[in-house]
């Protein structure tokens, strides 16, 4: 089975990532094949737009296939990752600057390299299963594939929050943070695809439905208050001083107990069945690792909740010891 399926369908150039058993993780060969197809279609007057989608239900693409990069690095062959990232980054830029509309349909996981393929498109569509993230900081790396640019465009300091916590965005949060443009339920994608094959790119906006509520929008107060500070130390200290005690709204305990305006929108906390408080910080999908620290006002708990590789890199000044990542949980 080919890792990628390239074809034309009416007025659309079609790119389908086709490694569903590997969560459509990108290989070097896939990146080169996508680039070659884009170059050819850019000169083809019969192609009005490009559509990028993926096989399977679990993932658009959970990222680059880092296993071969890890194995090459362990063997001392650093040319392999350099060549892969060079070609991948060139592809990301080509998608962002493509002279024709590029539509991406991102179901399930779209993370890391998957963001680089899908989120630089001109028309980005998510559905009810979409889970987007730039999780590089969880393994001690800096968000790449143009992800730092995307994060910098997010409202307020949401970008810093998403980068440092490797936080996952549901469809509403992805639209709010600027990683997607439109929401359309998955069962309507075949209808959209048929219209795109006729070259009707306006169908993306015409068919779009209101996105689900964005939890990040409601959490802007405490996110901006903490993540506007310079460095993880001050951020952790600020988070440790925030009061999330139920049933009242959280407030900042700095300045002799006087809450600051930026902390007035802290999330309320509800009690779980076992009596343990849990901040309502997501739309039901697994919370980012840092969220565990919001269950109390203990600075040590908050520090422990940040991705381990971030703390190691900060302590040693060397992120090279970060372990190879695993695929997201089902």
Q: Write down all domains in the chain, each with its CATH number in brackets.
A: 4-130+170-207 (3.90.226.10), 215-316 (no CATH)
What pLDDT sits at residue 294?
29
pLDDT at 292: 29
76 is catalytic: no
In whole angstroms, give the CA distance from residue 51 to residue 54.
10
Residue 102, C-beta contacts closer than 8 angstroms, at least 6 positions apart: 49, 50, 51, 52, 95, 120, 121, 122, 123
105 strand-pairing partners: 125
Residue-level pLDDT at 264: 31
pLDDT at 303: 37
Q: Which of 17, 186, 21, 201 is nearest to 116 (CA)?
A: 17
Q: Is 45 a catalytic residue?
A: no
pLDDT at 271: 25
Q: Which of 53, 88, 136, 160 is catalytic?
A: 136
Nearest to 179 by CA among 221, 218, 128, 134: 134
Name the active-site residue from 13, 63, 64, 108: 64
Is 250 a catalytic site residue?
A: no
- Which one is catalytic: 63, 113, 118, 172? 113
Task: Give the pTM.
Answer: 0.75
Determine the pLDDT at residue 35.
98
53, 65, 144, 181: which one is catalytic? 144
Cβ–Cβ under 8 Å, residues 115 and 147 = yes
Would you write out the chain's pLDDT as a tens digit for each of its 330 residues? 799 999 999 999 999 999 999 999 999 999 999 999 999 999 999 999 999 999 999 999 999 887 888 899 899 999 998 999 999 999 999 999 999 999 999 999 999 999 999 999 999 999 999 999 999 888 888 899 999 999 999 999 999 999 999 999 999 999 999 999 999 999 999 999 999 999 999 999 999 999 999 999 999 999 999 999 988 899 999 998 887 543 333 333 333 333 333 333 233 222 222 233 333 323 332 333 333 222 222 233 333 334 443 333 344 343 333 333 333 433
Is residue 3 flagged as an active site residue?
A: no
pLDDT at position 44, please? 97
């Amino acid at each position: 089975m080919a890792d990628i399926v390239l074809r034309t369908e009416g007025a659309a150039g079609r790119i389908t990532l086709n490694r569903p058993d590997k969560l459509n993780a990108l290989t070097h060969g896939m990146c080169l094949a996508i680039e070659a197809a884009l170059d050819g279609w850019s000169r083809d007057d019969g192609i009005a737009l490009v559509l990028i989608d993926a096989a399977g239900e679990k993932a658009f693409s959970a990222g680059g296939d880092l296993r071969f990069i890890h194995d090459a690095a362990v063997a001392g062959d650093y040319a392999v990752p350099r060549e892969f990232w060079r070609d991948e980054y060139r592809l990301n830029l080509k998608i962002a600057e493509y002279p024709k509309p590029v539509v991406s349909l991102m179901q399930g996981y779209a993370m890391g390299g998957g963001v680089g393929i899908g989120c630089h498109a001109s028309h980005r569509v998510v559905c009810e299963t979409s889970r987007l993230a730039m999780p590089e900081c969880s393994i001690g790396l800096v968000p790449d594939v143009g992800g730092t640019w995307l994060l910098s465009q997010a409202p307020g300091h949401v970008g810093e929050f998403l980068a440092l916590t490797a936080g996952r965005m549901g469809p509403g949060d992805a639209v709010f943070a600027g990683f997607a443009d439109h929401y359309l339920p998955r069962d309507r994608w075949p209808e959209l695809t048929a219209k795109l094959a006729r070259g009707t790119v306006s169908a993306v906006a015409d068919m779009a439905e209101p996105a689900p509520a964005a939890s990040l929008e409601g959490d802007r107060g405490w996110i901006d208050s903490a993540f506007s500070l310079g460095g993880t130390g001050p951020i952790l200290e600020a988070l440790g001083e925030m009061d999330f005690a139920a049933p009242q709204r959280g407030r900042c305990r700095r300045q002799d107990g006087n809450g600051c305006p930026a902390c007035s929108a802290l999330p309320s906390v509800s009690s779980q069945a076992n009596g343990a408080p849990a901040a309502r910080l997501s739309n039901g999908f697994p919370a980012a690792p840092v969220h565990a620290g919001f269950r109390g006002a203990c600075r040590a708990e908050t520090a422990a909740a940040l991705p381990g590789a971030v703390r190691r890199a900060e302590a040693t000044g060397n992120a090279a010891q970060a372990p190879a990542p695993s695929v997201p949980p089902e």
